Structures are given as C-alpha cells and as structure tokens.
Structure 1
Amino acid sequence: MSKFVSFAKRNSLRFVALVISLIAAVYVASPALSVYAVTYGDIKNSETEEMRLRLEKLKADSAALESKINEAEKSKEDALKCKELYDSMHNVYVEQLSLLEDQRNDLGDELAKCEEDAKTLEAEYEQSYENFLGLLRMTYEEGSSNYLAIILGAEDLGDLLSRVERVSGMIGYNKRLMKRVEKAKTALEAKKAELEESRVKVDEAAAKVNEKEKELEELDAKNEAMLATLEAQIKQDQAAADKLKAERDSANKAFDSLVSQLIAEEAERQRQLEEKLRQERLAEEERKRLELEKAQQEEMERENQTQDYTWPLPTRYRTITSWFNEDRNLQEIGYRDTHGGMDIAAPNRTPIYAVKTGRVILAGVVSGYGNCVMIDHGDGVVSIYGHASQLLCKTGDIVKKGQTIALVGLTGITTGYHLHIEFRKNGKRVEPLNYISIPKG
C-alpha cells in the first residue's frame, strides 16, 4: 500500500487518469458489469476537477519554491567564493608588503654602509690634505735654497748621491701625495653620488611600501565591508531558504493530503460499486437458489406422491430391540424414558439409508442422539436417524430414497450398536411402523 501511495504522490494527475481509465476499461470489458460502465466524464465531477486544479497549482508552487531555494544556495556559494578570493588577494598584498619591507631594510643597510664608507674617505681625505698642506708650508718657508743647501752640504760623492736621492724622493712624495688627495676626493665624490642614489632608492622603496600599505589598508577595508555584506547576504539567503523550505514542506503536506484524499475517495467509490455489484450477485444467486430449491421441492413432492417408504438398513438387519412408546429403564447408564422411536440392531458402520426422498434439515450432533440426520419429506413428515458413527450428508442436501446418508455407530445415549429411527408428523412423534414395514425373512 505504501508503494502504491508513493507512486500516486509522484504521478498524481497521471495516476488519477490511469485509475479512471482502468475503471472504464474493466467495466467495458466485463459483460456482467456493462450496465454499470463508467467513463472518464462520469467520474470527472466538479470535486475531482477542483482537486486536479489544486494539485496542478501545488505542483507549480513547489517547483517555484525549489527554484528559489536553488538560487539562494547559488548566491551563498558565490558569496563564499568572493570571500575566498578577497582572502587570497589579502595574502598576496601581505606578501608584497613583506617583500618591500625586506627591500627597505636592505637599502637601509646599504645606506648605513655608504655612510660609513663616506666617513672613512672623509677622514682619509682630511689626513692627506693636512699632510699636503704641511709639505707646502715647509717648501714655502725653506724655499729652493733649502734643496740646494742639502745638495751642497754633501761631504763626498756618495753623500751627494744620497742627498740628491732624498730630495728627489721628497719631490716624488709631494707629487704622489697630491695625486692621492685628488684620488681620495674623486672616490669621495663617487661615494657621495652612490650614497645619494641609494637614498633615492630607499625613498622610492619607502614610498612604494607606504603606497602598498595604503592600498592594503583600503583593500582590507573593502574586504571587511564585502565580508560583512556577504555574511548579511548569506544570513538573509539562509533565512529565505528556511522560509522556502517551510513553505515547500507545507505545500508537499497539502499535496500529499490531497492525493491521499483523492485515492481514498476513489477507493470508496470502488468499494461502494463493488459492494453494490456483490449484493446484486448475491441477490441473483439467492434467486437462483430459491428457484432451484423450489424445483427440487416440487420434484421431491412429485416423487413422494408416487413413492413408498423403504427400510433404513439392509433388509437382513430387522431385529427390533426397542419399540415406539416402550418404557425403558437403562440401569447400566442410569437412564429411564418412554421411547420416541424404534431401535434396530445392526453392526458397527452398517449403511443407513434415507427412507424416502427429502431435504436434509440437520446433519450434526444432537444431545442424546449423537451423530444425527433429520430429513424433511414434505407434507409435515420428518425422519430422524440417531447414534451414527459417521455422517455422509450435510445440511441442505437433497437425498434420494435408498441413498446412504450415514453409518451405524455408538454415539449419544446408547448401550450397543443400533439405529434409532424416528418419525415426526408436524413436529409430533409418531409410530415408525406407520411409514416403514419390517422386512420379512
């Protein structure tokens, strides 16, 4: 049943049409039901049409809600992707800022080294310059005569050569000192230019760092604003999605309720129709049964008008052990009565015959009689057969004269195997010998 309902939920409109078509097909295909043939137009009443329209609307609303939920989920995914992108960009700028900081530090180290080299060159220049000035002062104060006096004051040739070499050395030293001073000045100027260039680089790097820092701050601010917007959007989308889900669940519940109602109503219509057909079949069967019973009764009456009653046992069993209206005192079982029938001795499981054609009005256990058969022969006459070991007919059967209906037994109140045969006329016990005769032997 659950699978059937699940199928109906998924294919409600098609299911309704299918059910209606099947009903129509069954009624058209069955001659016995053709009088109740149902078409789609017969079943498609105003209530069914209203349900169909409501189901279509619910289906459309459900599809719209699903679309909205999908859009909300997509917006949420896009927002998260934007957040990831800004986080990545933020990391890139942080890395760039770190590189610029490293560059700035390197330039700072280079600037410090240039400053140190400049100070060293400045000191060397100052020292060279002082030495040069000292030599100039000495030359100026002593003049050329000093050099001549040095040469003329030689004691011999060796001393002269030594003095000349010394004077030449002093002159060369002065020249070298001047060149060294010039070289130091040139190197100092170059170092200063290098220092200025380094300072420019450091300033440019610092400007870039500051610019990147500003860009990063702006990016951080934008990123934070974007994140806040995205979080708000995600929250709003989630709330919308939850609301849509609740609406969809409500719509599905209403949809399921309508489908179940439609199925239940269709099933009830089917049940009522089937019940009507069943009642009509039963009525028809009862009519036929009554006609058959009437025909059998008429046939039985015709037969009984021309039939005599027969002995209820094989003719060799004709010993009467108890007569009609005989007072009996069965001391062995503590039973005393006036006998209402006639007992005929016979061995166990001897066939018992219907004394005349009739209808079995009882085939079962009766108190005192044990297994018992009662046959209505018409005209108010009923024959009764008691104490049987086995019954071979059932209530409602039409039995013929001489037909075996049971077997002799020892059921009910009895002291030995025998058949208790009893006749009643209009409900009163009567003498069995008025109907049957003891066979002659």
Structure 2
Amino acid sequence: MKKRIAVVFMTLMFTFSSSFVLADELKEKQKQLNETKKNIENLKGKIDDVKDKQEDVEKEINNLNSKIDKLQNSIENLDNQIADTKMRIKQLNKEIKQLEKEYEEQQELYKERIKVMYMNGPSSILEVLLDSQNFSDFFGRAEIVKAIVENDKNILKCIAEKKEQIENKAKEVTQKQQRLLSMQYELSSQKSQLDEACREQRRLYDKLENDKAYLERVLKAEQEESNLLEKQIKEIQARQKKNNNFGTFSKTGIIKVSDLGYIPKVTSPFGMRMHPVLGYARMHNGMDIAVPTGTPIYSMAKGEVIIAQYMKSYGNVVIIDHGDGLTSTYAHLSKISVSVGQVVEKGQMIGKSGNTGLSSGPHLHFEIRKNGVPVDPTPYYIVGQ
C-alpha cells in the first residue's frame, strides 16, 4: 500500500514537473514570438525609411535631369552660335583677304606715283604749267596737277584706312574665337558635373534598392519564423511530456583543436548586442565562435535530435534534447549530418560549420536552453583536443 502511494505521489510530482517545464517552454516561445513581432515592426519601419530616401533620391535625379535638359538646350543653342560664328569667321577671313589684296594694289599704285614723281622731279610740274597756251589752259592744267596731288593724298589715306580695317577685323576674329572656346569649356564643364551628380544619385538609388530588397528578405524571414514559433507554441500546448533518459549527464568538446590547428576565438558572447546584420540591438541567445566553413561540429552530450532543418535566422540548425529540459543548439551550419528523432552520442559529429541564415561571416552559433529559456552557454562550451 505504501509503495502504491509512493508511486502515485511520484507520478503526480512528475506530472506537475512536466507541466511546469511545458509552461516555462511555452512562456519562452511566447517571449520569442513577441520579440519576433517587434523585429518585424522594426524592419517595416526601416523599409519605410528606405522608401522615403528613395523618393528623395528620385526627386533629386529628376531635378538633375531637368537641369541637364536645360543645359543640353543651351549646348544646342551654343552649337548653332558656333556654326554661325564659324561662318562669320569664314566671311571675315574672306574680307581680310580682299582688304589685303586692295591694300597691295593701292600700295603698288602709290609706289608708281612716287616713282614717277622721283624720276621727273618738281620741274616736270612747272614745265606742264609753263607750256600752257593761255591763261585758261594754265588754270586747267593747274586743276589737273591739283587733282593728281589730291589723288595721291587719297591713296595714302585709303591705305591707312584699309590697314586699320584689316587690324580691326583680325581682332574681331580673335575675340570671337576666344569667346567660342570659353563658352565650349564652360558648358562642357557644367554638363560633366551634372552628369557625375546624376550618376552618383543613381548609384545611391541602386544601393537603397539593394538595402530595401535585403530588408524585405529579412522581414520575410522574421515573418516565417514568427509563423514557425506560433506553430511550435501550439504543438507544445497540445503534446504530452516526453521522457528522455540518457543516463548521467556529461559533456565534451563541440569543436576540436585537431580539426583547426588552433583554439578558435569567441567573437560574440551571450547577452545584448548590436546585431551585425540587422543593425539594431537585440538579445544574443548564444555565443559565436569564429571557425572556417566546413569545420566539423560535435554534439555536446548524448541526446535526441529534435530539430534538424533550415531556418531563416539560424540557417541550417541542429537542436539536441539532452533530457531534464536541457537543449543545445548549433546554428549557421553548412551541412547537417543528423536527422530528427536520431539519438546521438557525446562527441558524435552532427554537421559542419558555415555561414547560412542571418550571418555576417563563417562561424558557429552555440546556444543552451534550460526548459526553453536561453542561458549563458559558456559553462557548457568546451574545445576538444
């Protein structure tokens, strides 16, 4: 009778204990679900911020394109002015050549007059006047001499004017050429600056587009994990406590120096931290150990594999139940070597490290939970020989 009472008492105690374990696990899952939902809202806010920035960049791109269009119109107008100026320069060159020709002709004519005057001397003019038949003839001849002298003066004046015209036309051509080159340089410089500004804005827009796409992928992962947690909560609420008896608990190394050639470094311990990928503070439920992709990973202790699958945040993950509410998690694996329901021995290889899921580089994420609640895994972490 006493033995029966003791059995009943132990059964009740075990039932109550199981209920408490399930309640703690359910509470932890609910906490994870709340955190995931909070992260989802956070990510939605980040996506909205990126979209706002994209709108600003689009406006700036449109503004730059408008300026470029106006500048292009100015360049086209300048091209027309350049064409007109070139035609004017061509015409001026023709005029200069004509003036030079006239200058040479007038100079030759003047040279001839000087030559005649030099050869005949002043007496020739006097002889012309003294040979007059009468007074009227004298005045007529005097008028002719006067006209010749005036013509000589006009030739000299014309030569001076033509020379001045040539110099002015040449100066005008030079000034137009200088203005043309200056306008070409200025507009080309402005267009280059606007083109570079536009390219920079497009690069910024593409980066924002990539950021948005990444955040949307992360959001999708968080939403999928939220759905998975809800499913797990329902399963916990519905299932009975499963007894696992793996004997006396003892642990071993989850990573071996013989596989690496050195002791790996813990890059991120248990506790609050700034997430290296998401960019905001969140609880780090385990520890990160820097090991290259493909490093063998071993089970901490004997236990049953309860999860062996791909999860968006954890990547390829293996979770082992060691009994008495204790579980170990190995995440971001490149390869999973065990399956759900399989009982693994202490030190048995369960997979290989990698960079899957939300990971900023190759490493192992090692996590310990007691009754579903994450605890500091440091006392359980051993590097084997």
Q: TM-score range by the shorter chain?
A: 0.3 to 0.5
Normalising by structure 1, report the TM-score.
0.41
Choose between structure 1 and 2 for higher RCO, CA contacts under 8 A separated by at least 6 residues.
2
Higher-helix-fraction structure: 1
Who wins on radius of gyration, i.e. which is larger?
1
